[in-house]
Amino acid sequence: MNDWFRRLVTSIGLPALIGVGTGAVVAVLSTATEGVALPALAALPGLAPAAFSPLALLVTLAVVRFVTRSSEPATTELYLETANAPEGRLPLRQIPGRVLAGVTTVAFGGSQGLESPSALLGASLAQILGGGRFTLSQDERRALLMAGAGAGIAAVFSSPGAGALYGMEIPFRRDVDARNLVPCAVAAACGYGVRIAIAGPANLVVLDAAPEIDLAFVAGALVVAVAAGLAARLFAEATSAARALARRGTPLSRAALGGFVLAGLAAAGFELTGSWISFGPGYVAAEWLGAATHPIGLLGLALLVRSAGTLVCVYGGGGGGVFTSLACTGVFVGWIVAGALGIGGDAYALLGAACVLGAAYHIPLATMLYVAESGGGVPFSMLGLVAVALAQAIVADASVATSQRDSRG
∠ Cα 63 56 401 (to 5°)? 80
**pLDDT at site 379:** 96
**pLDDT at site 132:** 62
Considering the domain architecture, whether residues 175 and 317 belong to the same structural domain is answered as no
Report if residue 204 sits inside a domain.
no
Considering the domain architecture, whether residues 166 and 62 belong to the same structural domain is answered as yes
Considering the domain architecture, whether residues 295 and 362 belong to the same structural domain is answered as yes
Structural domains of the chain, count: 2
Q: Say how many CA atoms lie within 13 Å of 266 toward its Cβ.
A: 31
pLDDT tens string 213-257 = 999 999 999 999 999 999 999 999 999 999 999 999 899 999 999
We report the CATH number of the domain holding residue 287 as 1.10.3080.10
Cβ atoms of 256 and 58 within 8 Å: the answer is yes
The last residue of a domain, from among 133, 168, 199: 199
Report if residue 270 sits inside a domain.
yes
Cβ atoms of 140 and 10 within 8 Å: the answer is yes
Report if residue 207 sits inside a domain.
no
Q: Which residues of the chain have pLDDT under 50?
A: none
Considering the domain architecture, whether residues 141 and 180 belong to the same structural domain is answered as yes
Q: Which residue type is seen at 94?
A: Q
Considering the domain architecture, whether residues 265 and 299 belong to the same structural domain is answered as yes
Considering the domain architecture, whether residues 219 and 363 belong to the same structural domain is answered as yes
Considering the domain architecture, whether residues 134 and 230 belong to the same structural domain is answered as no
Report if residue 206 sits inside a domain.
no
Report if residue 405 sits inside a domain.
no
**pLDDT at site 76:** 84
Considering the domain architecture, whether residues 153 and 230 belong to the same structural domain is answered as no
∠ Cα 114 119 122 (to 5°)? 120
**pLDDT at site 339:** 95
Structural domain that includes position 143: 3-199
Considering the domain architecture, whether residues 195 and 220 belong to the same structural domain is answered as no
Other CB atoms within 10 Å distance of the CB of residue 89 = 11
Report if residue 42 sits inside a domain.
yes
pLDDT tens string 319-377 = 999 999 999 999 999 999 999 999 989 999 999 999 999 999 999 999 999 999 999 99
Considering the domain architecture, whether residues 233 and 161 belong to the same structural domain is answered as no
Considering the domain architecture, whether residues 153 and 57 belong to the same structural domain is answered as yes
